[in-house]
Amino acid sequence: MLDLLVRNGTVVTAEGSYPYDVAIQGGKVAAIGPHGTLGEAKETVDAAGKLVLPGLIDPHVHIHHPFKGSFAGDDFTSATRSAAFGGVTTVCDFAIQWDKTKSLTDTCALRKSQFEGQSITDYAFHACLTRSDGETIGELPGLIQGGIPSAKLYMTYSRQGRMSDDAALYEALRLTAQYGGIVGVHAENDAMCYYFSDAFKAAGKTSPHYFPLCKHNLVESEAVNRAIYLAKVTGGNLYIFHLSCKESLDILRKAQDEGVHVYAETCIHYLTMDMSQYDRPDGANFICSPPLRSKADVEALWQGIQEGRIGVVSSDHCGFTLANKATGGNDFTATPNGLPGMETRLPALYTYGVKAGRISLSKMVELLSANPARAFGMYPRKGTLAPGSDGDLVIFDPAEEKVISPAVLHSPVDWNPFDGQTLSGFAQAVYLAGKPIIQDGACLAAPGTGKFVQRDAKAICIFDR
Q: Angle at the Cα of 30 (from 29 to 33), degrees rounded to 5? A: 95
Cβ-based neighbours of 373, under 8 Å, separated by 6 or more: 57, 379, 380, 381, 382, 383, 384
Considering only the stretches 25-33, 200-208, 226-234, 313-321, report the one whose residues sit in contact with Zn ion under the rule CB under 5 A.
313-321
**For residue 245, which of 276, 267, 262 has the smallest C-alpha distance?**
267
| Residue 26, number of CB atoms within 10 A of its CB | 10
**Shortest reach from residue 279's CB to ligand URP, in Å:** 19
User: Cα–Cα distance between 383 and 13 in angstroms, integer?
Assistant: 8
**Shortest reach from residue 96's CB to ligand URP, in Å:** 9
Full DSSP string of 241-286: TT--SHHHHHHHHHHHHTT--EEEEEEHHHHH--GGGGGSTTGGGG
Burial of 110 (0-12, 13-18, 19+ CB in 10 A): middle
Exactly one of 288, 354, 423, 438 binds ligand URP (CB under 6 A); which one? 288
Which of residues 22 and 96 has its CB atom nearest to Zn ion in the complex? 96
Which of residues 65 and 174 has its CB atom nearest to Zn ion in the complex? 65
What single DSSP character describes residue 158? G
User: Cα–Cα distance between 126 and 95 in angstroms, integer?
Assistant: 6
**Shortest reach from residue 154's CB to ligand URP, in Å:** 7
User: Cα–Cα distance between 97 and 113 in angstroms, integer?
Assistant: 15
Peptide bond into 290 cis (omega under 30): yes
Q: Which does 351 bind (CB under 5 to 8 A by kind): ligand URP, Zn ion, none?
A: none
User: Cα–Cα distance between 315 and 317 in angstroms, integer?
Assistant: 5
247 binds Zn ion (CB under 5 A): no
Residues 315-374 that bind ligand URP (CB under 6 A): 316, 318, 337-338
**Shortest reach from residue 318's CB to ligand URP, in Å:** 4
Which of residues 13 and 130 has its CB atom nearest to ligand URP in the complex? 130
Q: Which does 247 bind (CB under 5 to 8 A by kind): ligand URP, Zn ion, none?
A: none
168 binds ligand URP (CB under 6 A): no
316 binds Zn ion (CB under 5 A): yes
Q: Which does 65 bind (CB under 5 to 8 A by kind): ligand URP, Zn ion, none?
A: ligand URP
Cβ-based neighbours of 128, under 8 Å, separated by 6 or more: 94, 95, 96, 97, 107, 151, 152, 153, 154
Size of the site for ligand URP (CB under 6 A): 8
CB 231 within 8 A of CB 261: yes
Exactly one of 289, 321, 344, 421 binds ligand URP (CB under 6 A); which one? 289
| 81, 84, 86, 92 alpha-carbon torsion, rounded to 10° | 100
Which of residues 265 and 316 has its CB atom nearest to Zn ion in the complex? 316
Query: What separation in angstroms does the CA of 93 have from each of 175, 295, 387, 403, 450?
Result: 22, 29, 27, 28, 14
Closest residue to Zn ion in the complex (CB)? 316
Q: Which does 289 bind (CB under 5 to 8 A by kind): ligand URP, Zn ion, none?
A: ligand URP
**Shortest reach from residue 242's CB to Zn ion, in Å:** 6
**Shortest reach from residue 325's CB to ligand URP, in Å:** 12
> What would the x/- binding string for ligand URP be over residues 35 to 74, using CB under 6 A?
---------------------------x--x---------
Which of residues 126 and 261 has its CB atom nearest to ligand URP in the complex? 126
Which of residues 22 and 268 has its CB atom nearest to ligand URP in the complex? 268
Which of residues 187 and 365 has its CB atom nearest to ligand URP in the complex? 187
Which of residues 21 and 265 has its CB atom nearest to ligand URP in the complex? 265
Burial of 367 (0-12, 13-18, 19+ CB in 10 A): buried
- Summarize as ranges the residues that interact with ligand URP (CB under 6 A): 62, 65, 288-289, 316, 318, 337-338
- Summarize as ranges the residues that interact with Zn ion (CB under 5 A): 316
